[in-house]
Amino acid sequence: MRGSDSRSDRSRGGGRSAALTEDARPALASGVAFEQSSDGAVWIAMLHGVPSSRVSPHVVDLLTAMDGDTALRDLHRRFAAAESWESFLQLVVRVRASGLLDGHSARPSGRLAFRPPLTLQVATLRAPALFDRLRRLVPPLPPRVVLASLAVVLGLGLVAAMLQAAQLWSVLSAPVPLSALLALVAVLSVLTLLHESAHGITLANYGGRPRRAGVMLFYLTPAFFVDVTDGWRLAERRQRVAVALAGPAVHAVVAAIALIAALAVPHPPLHRTLLLLGLSSTAIVVVNLIPFVRFDGYIALMSALDEPNLRGRAIHDGTDLAIRVLFGGRRRARRLDRWWSVPFGLASLLAPAVLVVLAVGRIAHALAGGGPIAGLLVMALEATVVLVALVMLVRSARRILRSGVSRLRFVAIVVALLAGAGTVGAVVPIPLTATLGFLSLDDRVVLVRAGTDRSPVPEGAAVTLLSSGILANERVGVGTTGPARAEPAAVALEALLPVTADAVTVPAVIIAEVEVSRGRGSLPPTGQARVELGTRNLWTALWEAAVAMPSSSLRGEK
């Protein structure tokens, strides 16, 4: 009876929280099977029909002998007598981390799946048949021809980018026409679909089977995805790397072609749209190659090193060290036998948080003058990030406590950290700014805020006038705020958002005039204004920037 066997296994060392000792008696999970790779040199460990990792025939023999009754010391003596106990234990820990042991396995993702911290997937399970058909539509080409063509196109794209460097900066630091923005979003959506399809087609071309495909909400951003876990069946590492990099290659080629085409297109709107497409696609490639998040760069690195679950094992090594240093936890065997395991794991912990904070910060800055709807969107994004962070902190605390550390020391360290953070936040001064829009009229420059909020800004505050760019802002003037009586106005869309649209105006309130001291003769008609509001301590500055300012647009007329 499977239920009583599982309880017995966990009590003897096979469970999720039990330590692996010489007396532990682990058992292979019920959903594990082994299939030989295409070259016959290694075996693929399958978990509920999904490839989990590549293992040698010797490891297959070891795993199949894990029956829940045989102690690890006996398995060590039988299968790895020439290896040290520490080396053998590291292997078993890696097997456990891959989910192959009873009490540690999990069902593979189905049509709906959530992957912490911020990924929700909705998939179809008919992907194998779909990509088999798509593969037949792509003419087979020798790898050398593909690589040579790719190098030529990317080289020409780099030259085109260098020749248009000044224009590229101008595109980043100026408002985007609404028509160009909508066209860009549509093209990027199609490119994302092609990006993911390239992964699946490349895998299918090498004989693999993409198991799932669909749409997902990835770090607050909608996207497509294709599950290429079956790539572990491929015998050659270069094939697995090719599967991982096929998607970024699509965006890289499109970026190069768009930049090359922009050189030959004199029509300003189309020229600008092509430059935006080139920049956006390049940014997607750069972000995708970050190896510390589950992006394509990480999959390529994991495949090149032939290290299954590379990131998860490195994170365990990094957190184990942090727990030992802070809370006095026990020294544990490393799950990743690489000298860079700990720094890679710590970077993998921090990178997603940094990406999310940067993305939310940039969205908040771009929408700062957008009125009630924009303010509500910013607050919703911030609330989502805070909620996920709290959940992750609670899970981390549980893991630390389960690792066997002293509860008294844990409480003392947590209290000390909270007290230190509270003290630093209370004493460190942070400059606080408000982001508004400005209008350059015939005889004056005024600050505007979307909606009906008439909250004033301090008279005499320093003001930096900026271009309203979708990704960057260029300083165009400086001055100070002067007295003004709040008055309603209808202003152009680009005065509040980095988007231009002919004949489109939005309701706003003129809340102050600006006495321009530099740049008056070269000001654009509209832009962003950064008003210095003095200094606050860190906690007050965070509250005002993240909550008070976005919510001020929701309070209505004052």
In terms of domains, do 423 and 438 share one?
no
In a domain, residue 167? The reply is yes
* DSSP 8-state symbol, 32: E
Confidence tier at 3 by pLDDT (50, 70, 90): very low
pLDDT tens digits along 82-128: 777 877 887 887 788 777 887 765 666 667 767 666 677 887 777 77
Residue 103 maps to a domain: no
- pTM (2 d.p.): 0.78
Question: Interior CA angle at 399 toward 397 and 402, to 5°?
Answer: 110
Q: How confident is the model at residue 37 (pLDDT cuts 50, 70, 90)?
A: low
Per-residue model confidence (pLDDT) at position 505: 83
Residue 164's pLDDT is 93
**Minimum mean pLDDT among 272-281, 460-469, 498-507: which range?**
498-507
Bridge partner list, 152: none
What confidence score (pLDDT) does residue 104 get? 61
* 225 and 336 within one domain: no
Out of 45, 63, 97, pick the residue that ends a domain.
Answer: 97
Least trusted range by pLDDT, from 220-229, 431-440, 502-511: 220-229
Cβ contacts of 412 within 8 Å, gap of 6 or more: none
Percent of the chain at pLDDT exceeding 70: 90
Residue at a domain's end among 64, 97, 130: 97
Whether 273 shows a pLDDT value over 80: the answer reads yes
pLDDT average, residue stretch 43-61: 78
Domain range for 406 is 311-427
Mean predicted confidence (pLDDT) in 372-383: 79
Q: pLDDT tens digit string along 298-334?
A: 999 988 988 877 888 898 888 888 888 888 877 777 7
Cα separation, 338 vs 361, in Å, equals 35
- pLDDT at position 330, please? 75
* Average pLDDT of the chain, as a whole number: 83
Residue 14 has a pLDDT of 42
The yes-or-no verdict on residue 461 having pLDDT over 60 is yes
Q: Tell me, what DSSP letter sits at residue 232? A: G
Q: Assess whether 520 and 462 both reside in one domain.
A: yes
**Closest Cα partner for 184 from 117, 270, 70?**
270
SS3 217: strand
CA distance 462 to 464: 7
558 inside domain: no
Answer whether residue 259 is part of any domain. Answer: yes
**Amino acid present at 75:** L
Query: Tokens for 520?
Result: 């008056």
- Take residue 74 and report the two structure tokens written for it: 């006996």
pLDDT of residue 7: 33
Q: Looking at the structure, do residues 70 and 165 belong to the same domain, yes or no?
A: no
Is residue 472 within 8 Å of residue 485, measured between CB atoms? Answer: no
CB 368 within 8 A of CB 453: no
Residue 304 sits in the same domain as residue 317: no
Lowest-confidence pick of 85-94, 147-156, 502-511: 85-94
SS3 content of the chain, % helix, strand, coil (to 5): 50, 20, 30
Residue 557 lies in a domain: no
Residue 508 predicted with pLDDT over 90: no
pLDDT value at residue 557: 46
For 444-500, the DSSP string reads -EEEEEETT------TT-EEEEE---SS---EEEEEEEE----EEEEEEGGGTSSEE
Average pLDDT over residues 486-505: 84
The verdict on 230 and 377 lying in the same domain is no
- Dmax (CA) for the chain in angstroms is 90
Q: In terms of domains, do 342 and 386 share one?
A: yes
Greater confidence, 42 or 10? 42
List CB contacts of 315: < 8 A, sequence separation 6 or more: 345, 348, 349
| 445 found inside a domain | yes
- pLDDT category, 478, cuts 50, 70, 90? very high
161 and 299 both lie in a single domain = yes
182 and 134 together in one domain = yes
> Does an H or E element contain 113, and which?
strand 112-115
CATH of the domain at 546: 2.40.30
> Would you place residue 6 in the very low, low, confident or very high pLDDT band (cuts 50, 70, 90)?
very low
Query: How confident is the model at residue 246, as a pLDDT?
Result: 94
| Selection from 340, 159, 306, 320 nearest residue 234 by Cα | 306
105 assigned to some structural domain: no
Domain boundary among 287, 308, 329: 308
Does residue 345 or residue 369 have the better pLDDT? 345
371 compared with 14, residue with greater pLDDT: 371
Tally of structural domains, the chain: 4
What confidence score (pLDDT) does residue 158 get?
Answer: 96
Mark whether 143 and 263 lie in a shared domain. Answer: yes
pLDDT above 70 (res 517): yes
Taking 50 as the threshold, does the pLDDT of residue 343 lie above it?
yes
Percent of the chain with pLDDT over 90: 22
Model confidence pLDDT, tens digit, residues 394-412: 888 887 887 778 888 889 9
- Which pLDDT score, from 0 to 100, does residue 555 have? 57
State which H helix or E strand residue 245 sits in.
helix 237-264
pLDDT band at 420 (very low <50, low <70, confident <90, very high): very high
Encode 2-11: b = buried (16+ Cβ within 10 Å), e = exposed. Answer: eeebbeebbe
Q: Is residue 219's pLDDT more than 70?
A: no
Q: Does the pLDDT value for residue 435 go beyond 70?
A: yes
Query: What tens digit of pLDDT does each residue of 179-207 get?
Result: 888 999 899 999 999 999 999 999 988 88
- What are 3's two structure tokens? 């239920």
- Specify the pLDDT at position 17: 41
Residue 303 sits in the same domain as residue 278 = yes
pLDDT-wise least confident of 44-48, 207-211, 554-558: 554-558
179 with 297, same domain: the answer is: yes
Predicted pLDDT of residue 5: 38
Q: Which helix (H) or strand (E) holds 416?
A: helix 407-427
Which residues does 336 contact at the CB level (< 8 Å), separation at least 6? 307, 310, 313, 314, 317, 344, 345
Residue 102, domain member (yes or no):
no
The predicted model gives 414-437 an average pLDDT of: 89
Element (H, E) at 223: strand 221-226
The lowest-confidence range among 33-47, 106-120, 415-429 is: 106-120
> What is residue 368's predicted lDDT score, i.e. its pLDDT?
66
